[in-house]
Amino acid sequence: MYDLIVIGSGPAGEKGAAQAAYFGKSVALIEREPILGGACVNTGTIPSKTLRESALHLSGFRQRGFRDAVDLTIKGEVTIRDFMYRKDVVVEREWRRIDENLRRHRVDRYSGVAKFRSPNVIEVTNALGAEVLEGKIVLIATGSSPYRPSHVPFDDEHICDSDTILVMNRIPKSLAVVGAGVIGCEYASIFAALGIEVHLIDGRTALLPHIDRECVKVLLGELQNRLGVILHLGCDVDSIENAGDHIHLTLKDGSSFDTDKVLYAAGRNSNTSDLDLAAAGVNAGNRGLVVVNENYQTNVANIYAAGDVIGFPALASTSMEQARVAMVHAFDLKYKTRVAPILPYAIYTIPELSTVGMTEEQCRAKGITPEVGRAYYRNNARGNIIGDTKGILKLVFDAESLTLHGVHIIGEDAAELLHTGMMVMQFGGTINAFIDSVFNFPTLSEAYKYAAYDGLGNVARKRTQQVAQELI
Q: Is the pLDDT of residue 70 over 50?
A: no
Q: Is the pLDDT of residue 414 over 70?
A: yes
Rounded Cα–Cα distance for residues 411 and 387 (Å): 11
Rounded to whole angstroms, what are the CA distances from 459 to 14, 233, 392, 398, 425? 47, 37, 19, 10, 19
The model's confidence at residue 152, banded by pLDDT at 50, 70 and 90, is very high
Positive or negative torsion for Cα 308, 312, 316, 322: negative
Residue 241's closest CA among 179, 180, 151, 178?
151
Cis status of the peptide bond prior to 313, with omega within 30 of 0 = yes
Residue 411 zone, left/alpha/beta (φ > 0; ψ -120 to 50; rest): left
Please count the CA atoms within 13 angstroms of the CA of 258 that sit on its side-chain side. 7
| Residue 304 contacts residue 293 (beta carbons within 8 Å) | no
Q: What is the 3-state secondary structure (H, E, C) of 157-211?
A: CCEECCCHHHHCCCCCCEEEEECCCHHHHHHHHHHHHCCCEEEEEECCCCCCCCC
Rounded to whole angstroms, what are the CA distances from 37 to 92, 136, 392? 10, 24, 34
Q: Is the pLDDT of residue 65 over 60?
A: no
Task: Report the pLDDT value the prediction gives residue 73, as an integer from 0 to 100.
Answer: 47
| Residue 166 contacts residue 41 (beta carbons within 8 Å) | no
State the average pLDDT over residues 43-62: 87
Q: Is the pLDDT of residue 428 over 50?
A: yes
The model's confidence at residue 62, banded by pLDDT at 50, 70 and 90, is low
Rounded Cα–Cα distance for residues 95 and 101 (Å): 10
CA 49 to chain centroid: 10
Rounded to whole angstroms, what are the CA distances from 190 to 184, 195, 290? 10, 9, 32
Task: Report the pLDDT value the prediction gives residue 472, as an integer from 0 to 100.
Answer: 66
| pLDDT per position as a tens digit, 321-333 | 999 999 999 999 9
Q: Is the pLDDT of residue 64 over 60?
A: no
How high is the mean pLDDT of the chain?
93
Percentage of the residues of the chain whose pLDDT score is greater than 90: 85
| pLDDT per position as a tens digit, 183-234 | 999 999 999 999 999 999 999 998 999 999 999 999 999 999 999 999 999 9
Residue 376's beta-bridge partner residues?
392
Q: Is the pLDDT of residue 75 over 50?
A: no
CA 4 to chain centroid: 28
Q: Is the pLDDT of residue 349 over 50?
A: yes
Q: Is the pLDDT of residue 72 over 50?
A: no
Is 111 exposed, middle or buried (CB count within 10 Å of its CB: 0-12, 13-18, 19+)?
A: middle
How far is the first Cα of the chain from the last one, in angstroms, to the nearest whole number?
80
Q: Is the pLDDT of residue 469 over 80?
A: no
The model's confidence at residue 66, banded by pLDDT at 50, 70 and 90, is low
Residue partners of 449: CB distance under 8 A and separation at least 6: 375, 434, 435, 437, 439
Side chain identity at residue 420, one-letter code: T
Cis status of the peptide bond prior to 146, with omega within 30 of 0 = no
**Between 441 and 58, residue with greater pLDDT:** 441
DSSP string, 29-54: EEESSSSSSHHHHHTSHHHHHHHHHH
Rounded Cα–Cα distance for residues 393 and 145 (Å): 34
